[in-house]
Chain A
Amino acid sequence: MSPEGRAVANGRVLLAGTGSGPLLRLAAPISFWGGVDPSTGSVCDPRHPDHGRSLSGSVAWIESTIGSSSSSSVLLELLRLGLGPAALLLGRADPILSLGAVVAVELGYPGIPVVELPAGVPAEVADGTLVEVRADGALRALPGGG
């Protein structure tokens, strides 16, 4: 693999930026409020298959968001505390969660890219692979990842 990594997907930019980290594929839809602990970044809903895993620093693939209107607040809080994901990849543009990242930028907190990937992250990119989201919505697998 080149140092630039390998292109694996291209999405629609919901919020532009760059971010890299291990890919975290959430196995089920999630509500950030009630589903992610705003003080740690870990999945706190015991019914969720990823219960206990941390989103902090990850490039999180979330096929669908569900539930609470407060999910935007939880994301904002994670970004304020430096505990947020490094990037969000959403199966579908979401009017709640994404707004947490929009407001983080308004308040001058470190922001993150949010990209819509309706076709998903290709199956060959395993959970834990080091990936990078580019400002144009490109997703690349980086060398040295898991």
Chain B
Amino acid sequence: MSGGPGTGGRADAVRLTTEEAAVLAGADGPAAATAMRIVTEAARLLGADSLVPIGSAHIDGCLYHGDGGVEFAERLVREEGAVKVPTTLNVGALDLLHPGRVKGDDHRLEMSRRLMNAYLSMGCSATWTCAPYQAGHRPAVGEQVAWGESNAVAFANSVLGARTNRYGDFLDIACALVGRAPFVGLHLDAARRATVVVDTSELSERLRDLDAFYPVLGSWLGRAVGDRVAVVDGLPPTTSEDRLKALGAAAASTGAVALFHVSGVTPEAPTVEAALGGQPPERVIRVTPEDVRATLATLSTSADGAIDAVALGSPHFSRDEFCRLHGLARGRRFSVPFYVCTGRDVLREVAAEGWITDLEAAGVTTVADTCVIVAPILPGHRGTLMTNSGKFAHYTPGTTGYGVIYGSLEECVESGAAGRVVRLTETWT
């Protein structure tokens, strides 16, 4: 049993500017006052002593998890909430472009739609993607922002060099409504310095140049470092955005990784020494081939055999990923449902190339605005899903009831055609 807690927006330890204090007192309307109360409360509990102006926000809270989130968002709308900075929206629980793709009872569908509409009413952009950085939302190096969605947070900090903490549902929109965030953690120089060095030099160059390695490395990294900032050394200087996206998404699933550096690749790590800020590391970890194999084993919960579906696109598939899939799948015929999840901006682009027509002919189902682990899309409640995504591999069992099998993109394509797991090479030795 419990009782009697209260927030009350105590700002004792948090210094507000005159303008911020006026917003808290209601000068900018009731929604902004609610939002400022929440931001100030978050600042207090995180130990911040002031707020920082932000340049943009990405909102995770538009995804339906229950009626409480809808009540909160609709209250902000009733209170005439309007975002103060450019704000993109994460996936919702509906595919607005393909009605009927998401199943579920009428209540769930209705509340999902109401939630998405509430966030649009507050002036957010209808991007509906967990990869806003693939929809043109790319803050500059050093820019202060408030982003939700764990993979987007990791990408914004690590790959773009923007500055955000791991903002969650409710605090994300609160920050957007007042254009402020608690000035603490990764908004400050000190916390962005790497304290852990991850040395990958023991791994073969072939492995380090394999797409399917990056979700595995990310899953390992999240478990190994938790919420500490690591600099990964020894990855190819040409490591692509898609590989960094996959690394970050997996690390933010198994751990609380909001920022990682890759020496010679990411903007705050021209060298290992630079990422360390000239100080000695607290810890140096050498990743071994055994670490990679052991982590790989944790990504699958089912044994190789028959599969019921394939799902790609967590984070949402990029144009480059579609290009590779198109090359592999064109002219094939999948024998199990084969889902590719993406944002509407990327979908528009790749449809214009004609790739979607070819992929649909092969049996691909595109899912836009949402994905298979946040909305009821997969057939039934039991089965085996194959994926090349570390994030799908991590969350699928807990969110869908499906068992999961991890493989490379090529293996997913071959397995989708065969209806059972096809392994292509002794990749991991």
> A interface vs B, CB < 8 Å?
14-21, 29, 31, 33-35, 38-39, 44-47, 57, 64-74, 76-77, 79-81, 86-87, 92-93, 95-107, 109-114, 133, 135
**Interface contact A111-B5, CB-CB below 8 Å:** yes
Q: How far is the CA of A114 from the CA of B7 in the complex (A)?
A: 11
A133 to chain B: which residues have CB within 8 Å?
2
Q: Which residue of B lies closest to A92 (CB)?
A: B227
Question: In the assembly, what is the distance between CA of A66 and CA of B67, in Å?
Answer: 24
Nearest-CB residue, chain B, relative to A28? B223
Interface mask (B56-73 → A, CB under 8 Å = 1, otherwise 0): 000011010111110110
- Closest chain B CB from A30 CB (angstroms): 10
Contact with A95, one of B46, B63, B69, B222 (Cβ below 8 angstroms): B46
Contacts of B167 in A (CB 8 A): 69, 95-96
Q: Does B168 contact A95, Cβ atoms closer than 8 Å?
A: yes
Question: B residues bordering A, Cβ < 8 Å?
Answer: 1-7, 34, 37-38, 41-42, 45-47, 60-61, 63, 65-69, 71-72, 75, 148-150, 153, 165-172, 182, 185, 222, 226-227, 252-256, 298, 301, 373, 394-395, 397-399
Residue on A nearest B257 in the bound complex, by CB: A66
* A17 and B394 within 8 A (CB): no
A33-B69 Cα distance, complex, nearest whole Å: 14
User: Which listed residue (B5, B37, B172) contacts A69, Cβ 8 A?
Assistant: B172
Contact of A31 among B37, B60, B71, B253 (CB under 8 A): B253
Chain B residues whose CB sits within 8 angstroms of the CB of A71 once the complex forms: 168
Instruction: Tell me whether A77 and B168 are in contact in the complex, defined as CB-CB below 8 angstroms, given that A64-B256, A67-B253 are known contacts.
Output: no
Since A38-B66, A68-B395, A106-B38 are in contact, a sample of 8 more A-B pairs with Cβ atoms closer than 8 Å, ordered by chain A residue number, is A34-B394, A73-B68, A73-B69, A76-B66, A76-B69, A76-B170, A102-B45, A135-B4
In the complex, what residues of B have CB within 8 A of residue A81's CB?
A: 66
CB-defined contacts of B185 to chain A, threshold 8 Å: 95
Chain A nearest CB, measured from B163 CB (Å) = 14
The 10 A-B pairs with the shortest beta carbon distances in the complex, nearest first, are A17-B5, A19-B2, A96-B168, A77-B66, A111-B5, A45-B398, A69-B60, A73-B65, A72-B168, A80-B68
Q: Tell me whether B5 and A99 are in contact (CB under 8 A).
A: no
Report Cα–Cα, A46/B34, bound state, in Å. 38
Complex: chain A residue closest to B75, CB-CB: A107
For residue B71, which residues in chain A have a CB less than 8 angstroms away from its CB?
107
Q: Is the CB of A47 within 8 A of B397?
A: yes
Q: Are A72 and B5 in contact, CB atoms less than 8 angstroms apart?
A: no
Let me know if A80 and B66 touch, CB within 8 A: yes
Assembly CA distance A79 to B41 (angstroms): 19
Residues of B within 8 A of A67 (CB): 150, 252-256
**Contact A64–B171 (Cβ < 8 Å):** no
- Is the Cβ of B7 less than 8 Å from the Cβ of A95? no
What's the Cα separation between A69 and B391 when bound, in Å?
A: 13
Write 5 A-B pairs (CB below 8 A) sorted by A numbering.
Answer: A76-B68, A95-B168, A103-B68, A105-B7, A110-B2
Report the separation of the CA atoms of residues A74 and B61 in the bound assembly, to the nearest whole angstrom: 11
* Distance of B390 from chain A, by nearest CB (Å): 12
Would A70 and B68 count as touching, CB distance under 8 A?
Answer: no
CB neighbours of B5 from chain A (8 A): 15-17, 101, 105, 111-113
Collect the chain A residues with CB atoms within 8 Å of residue B63's CB.
Answer: 70, 73
Known interface pairs A46-B398, A101-B5, A107-B75; A72-B171 also in contact (CB < 8 Å): yes
Docked Cα-Cα span, A99 to B47, in Å, equals 14
Which of B45, B169, B252, B256 lies in contact with A72, CB distance below 8 A? Answer: B169
B399 nearest CB across to chain A (Å): 5
Question: Is the beta-carbon distance between B7 and A15 smaller than 8 angstroms?
Answer: yes
Q: Is B60 a contact of A70 with CB atoms below 8 Å?
A: yes
Closest CB in chain B relative to A105 CB, distance in Å: 5
How distant is the Cα of A81 from the Cα of B394 in the complex, in angstroms? 27
Structural contact, B4 and A18, CB atoms closer than 8 A = yes
Q: A102-B42, A109-B68 are in contact. Are A34 and B399 (CB under 8 A)?
A: yes
Give the residue among A46, A79, A96 with the most B Cβ atoms within 10 A.
Answer: A96
Given A69-B167, A102-B42, A102-B170, decide whether A34 and B69 contact each other with a Cβ distance below 8 A. no
Give chain A nearest CB distance to B318 CB in angstroms. 21
Most A CB contacts (10 A, CB to CB) among B4, B45, B47, B226 go to B45
Bound: A14/B46 CA distance, A: 8
User: Which residues from chain A contact B222 at a C-beta distance below 8 Å?
Assistant: 66
User: Which of B5, B46, B60 counts the most A-chain CB atoms under 10 A from its CB?
Assistant: B5
Q: How far is the CA of A46 from the CA of B2 in the complex (A)?
A: 29
Q: Specify which chain A residues have a CB less than 8 angstroms from the CB of B253 in the assembled complex.
A: 31, 34, 66-68
Nearest-CB residue, chain B, relative to A44: B398
Q: Which residue of A lies closest to B38 (CB)?
A: A102
- Distance in Å from the Cβ of A6 to the closest Cβ of chain B? 19
Q: With the chains together, A45 CA to B398 CA distance in Å?
A: 4
How many angstroms from the CA of A87 to the CA of B3 in the assembled complex? 10
In the complex, A19 Cα to B3 Cα: how many Å?
6
Shortest Cβ distance from residue B391 to the other chain A in the assembled complex, whole angstroms: 10
- By beta carbon, the residue of chain B nearest A67 is B253
Query: With A73-B66, A109-B68 as given contacts, are A17 and B3 in contact (CB-CB < 8 Å)?
Result: yes
A-chain residues with CB within 8 Å of residue B61 when the two chains form the complex: 73
Known A69-B149, A93-B45, A96-B167; contact A38-B301, beta-carbon cutoff 8 A: no
**Cross-chain contact A69 with B2 (CB below 8 angstroms):** no
